[in-house]
Each structure stands twice: as structure tokens, then as C-alpha cells.
Amino acid sequence: MAKKETAEESAKALKQQTQSTLTMAKQVAVAEIRASELQTEAKRAVKVAKGAEEQLGAVATEYQDFRQSAAPHFSSGTRLLIDGAGGMSAQALNELMNWGIRAAADWSEASSGKEGLIYRNVDWLQSIPGGIGAAMYMVEMLLLRPEFDPRDKERLDGERRPYVPSKVRAGLTELAKILGHLGLSNTIRALRFRYWESADERREKDEAVKVRDETIEQARAEIAALRDQVKTLQAKE
């Protein structure tokens, strides 16, 4: 009887030991699986960090290249060149086009007199170059000029570089802007001459009238002198 109880106790102890061993084996297996997962996650994190570092380095390189390429466009010398060339070109173009308009007005006066259409509206017509310049400027700034560098169109908004126009395009934009301002000045001047005569316009008209009167008086004096000469010649005969 004692031997039987001892055997049962031994079997029970062996069963408990076996269960404990299985439990420990399960825990070890779970720990190994978890360690493997952590190792995989760590490798993935290292890979992501490496990719982010490479991307950051590429962005830094692109930014540095962008600064180096854009710096000349914002230098004082470049701005002076663009502003000066654009302004002088606009002035020359405005004067050239208005010279053509004034020539057409002279033709209109010669062919149709004071009622010629071009002659009567020559002051308004000299605003045409400015209208062309203003239209060019608005189309460029509102429709044609991109907000970001076209090479970055596939990137996210935060990754896009601002657009930097070429020197030629910036010069043409400046030309159009100045030409628009010159046209506006011509329009305001035409309005003043027609509807809001100021002291400047009255002085110019007075000077023109004075020159006309002086010319008439000089012509009269010359005519009187010629008449005296004719009378003198007739008396001698």
C-alpha cells in the first residue's frame, strides 16, 4: 500500500514537472518569437531611418543647389540690370510706337483735316502701348508664371521649390510693367488736357498762343516791309 502511494506521488510529481517544463518551453518559444519580431521591427526602423537620412541629405543638397542657382537672380547687380534694361526698353518701345501714332495723326490731318479720326483722338491712341504692356504683365503674372518650379510638379506642396524666372523673362516682365505705367500716364494726361485743364496745360496753351501771335506779327511786319519795298520800286519807275 505504501509503495502504491509512493508511486502515485512520484507520477503526480512527474506530471507537474512535465507541465512546468511545457509551460517554460511555451514561454521560451513566445519570447523567441517576440524577440524575432522586435529584431525585425528594429531592422525595419533602421532601414526607415537610413532612408530618411538619405532623403534629408538629398533635400539638403537640392536646397543648397537651389540657393546657389537662385542667388545670382537676386543680387543687386542683376536687379539693377533687369530694372534698367526693362525700363529703358519700355521707354524706347513706348516712344517708337507713339511716334508711329503721331505720324498717323499727321497723315489723318493732311488727308481729312481737323476732323480726321486719328488726328482728333491722337491723345487717347498714345495709350495703346501702355494697354499692351499692362495686358502682357497681367497675363504673365496671373496665367503663365507658375507658383512652383515645374520640375517639382510631382512633389508634395511642402517639398516644392519656388519658381525663379530667367533673367530674360524677368526683364520682359519688367518691360511690360513699365510700359503699362507709361500708358496709364498718357491716359491721365489725355484726361487732363480734355476735361481737367490744369495750370500746366493752360501755360502750355498760352505759350503756344504767344508763339502764334508772335509769328503772325512777324509775318505782318515782313509783309509791310515787302509792301514798302514794292512802293519804293514803283516810285523809282
Contacts of 171 (CB under 8 A, 6+ apart): 82, 85, 86, 89
CB atoms within 10 A of CB 179: 27
Q: What are phi and psi of 197, to 5 degrees?
A: -65, 125
Render pLDDT for 129-173 as a digit per residue (tens, 0 to 9): 888 988 998 988 887 777 777 676 666 666 666 777 777 888 888
Q: Which residues of the chain, if any, have pLDDT below 70? A: 1-11, 13-15, 56-74, 150, 152-161, 197-206, 233-237
pTM of the model as a whole: 0.54
